[in-house]
Chains A and B, each alone.
Chain A
Amino acid sequence: MNKISIIILREYLTRVKKKTFLIMSIVGPLLFAALMIAPAWLAQMEDKEEKLIAVIDSSKLFYNTIPETKYLKFEYLQNTPISKIKQNFSKTNYYAVLYISHIVTYKPNAVQLFSDKQPSLAIKMHISNALEKEIERLKLKTYNIENLDNILQSIKTNISIQSIKLAEDGTEKKSSVEIAMIVGYLSGFLIYLFIFLFGAQVMRGVIEEKTNRIIEVVISSVKPFQLMMGKIVGIAMVGLTQFLLWIILTAGIVTVVKTAFFPELSMKTEQITPETVLSSGGSTLQPSQPVNDAEIDQVKEIFSSVKSINFGVLFASFIFFFLGGFLLYGSLFAAVGAAVDSETDTQQFMLPITIPLILAIIVMMNAIQNPEGPIAFWFSIIPFTSPIVMMVRIPFGVPYWEVSLSVILLVITFIFTTWLASKIYRTGILMYGKKTSYKEIWKWLRYNN
Chain B
Amino acid sequence: MELFSVHNVNKTFINYQALTNISLSVNKGSIFGLLGPNGAGKTTLIRIINQITAPDSGEIIFNGEKLKANDIYKIGYLPEERGLYKKMKVGEQAIYLARLKGLSKNDALKKLKYWFEKFEIQPWWDKKVEELSKGMQQKIQFIVTILHEPQLLIFDEPFSGFDPINTKLLKQEILNLRDKGATVIFSTHNMSSVEELCDDITLINKSKTILQGNINEIRNKYKANTYELEYTNPDNQNLNILENFEVLEKSQKNGYELIKIKLKNGQTPNTVLNKLLPHVDIKSFNEVIPNMNEIFIKVVEETND
Contacts and interface: CB of A to CB of B under 8 A. Distances in A.
B85 A3 contact: no
A7 B86 CA distance: 16
Contact of B141 (A14, A217, A220, A222): A217
Contacts of B97: 217-218, 221
Interface stretch (A72-80, A152-160, A208-216): A208-216
B96 interface: yes
B72 A212 contact: no
A6 B96 contact: yes
Given A216-B52, A217-B141, A443-B14, A222 B81 contact: no
A217 B85 CA distance: 11
Interface in B70-129: 72, 75, 77-79, 81-88, 96-97, 99-102
Contacts, number: 63
Interface string B52-81: 111000000000000000001001011101
A430 interface: yes
B50 interface: yes
A447 interface: yes
Contact of B85 (A214, A220, A447, A448): A214
A315 interface: no
A1 interface: yes
Contacts of B78: 217
A214 B85 CA distance: 7
A171 interface: no
A217 B99 contact: no
A218 B83 CA distance: 10
B54 A449 contact: yes
B83 A220 contact: no
A212 B85 contact: yes
A217 B82 contact: yes
B14 A221 contact: no
Contacts of A14: 85, 87-88
Most buried by B among A3, A213, A214, A447: A214
Nearest to A444: B14
A221 B100 contact: yes
Interface in A200-253: 208-209, 212-214, 216-222
A217 B77 contact: yes
B161 to A, nearest CB: 12
B83 A214 contact: yes
A212 B14 contact: no
A212 B99 contact: no
B72 A220 contact: yes
A218 B144 CA distance: 11
Given A1-B99, A220-B75, A447 B81 contact: no
A209 B97 CA distance: 13
Contacts of A51: none
Nearest to B77: A220
A439 to B, nearest CB: 11
A432 interface: yes
Contacts of A219: 52
A64 to B, nearest CB: 73
B72 A221 contact: yes
Interface string A272-298: 000000000000000000000000000
A14 B77 CA distance: 25
Contacts of A447: 14
B54 to A, nearest CB: 6
Contacts of B96: 6, 10
Contacts of A10: 96
Contacts of B101: 221
Contacts of B47: 430
B187 to A, nearest CB: 13
A213 B81 contact: yes
A203 to B, nearest CB: 16
Contacts of B86: 208, 212
A352 B51 CA distance: 32
Contacts of B99: 1, 3, 6
A218 B82 contact: no
A144 B91 CA distance: 96
A7 B144 CA distance: 17
B105 to A, nearest CB: 8
A220 B50 contact: yes
A447 B56 CA distance: 11
A219 B97 CA distance: 11
A214 B52 contact: no
Most buried by B among A217, A220, A449: A220
Contacts of B72: 220-221
15 contacts: A3-B100, A6-B96, A212-B86, A213-B79, A213-B83, A214-B82, A214-B83, A216-B79, A216-B82, A218-B100, A220-B52, A220-B79, A221-B72, A221-B97, A221-B101
Interface of A: 1, 3, 6-7, 10, 14, 208-209, 212-214, 216-222, 430, 432, 443, 447-449
The 10 closest A-B pairs by CB, nearest first: A213-B83, A221-B100, A212-B83, A216-B79, A220-B77, A220-B50, A213-B81, A449-B53, A214-B83, A221-B101
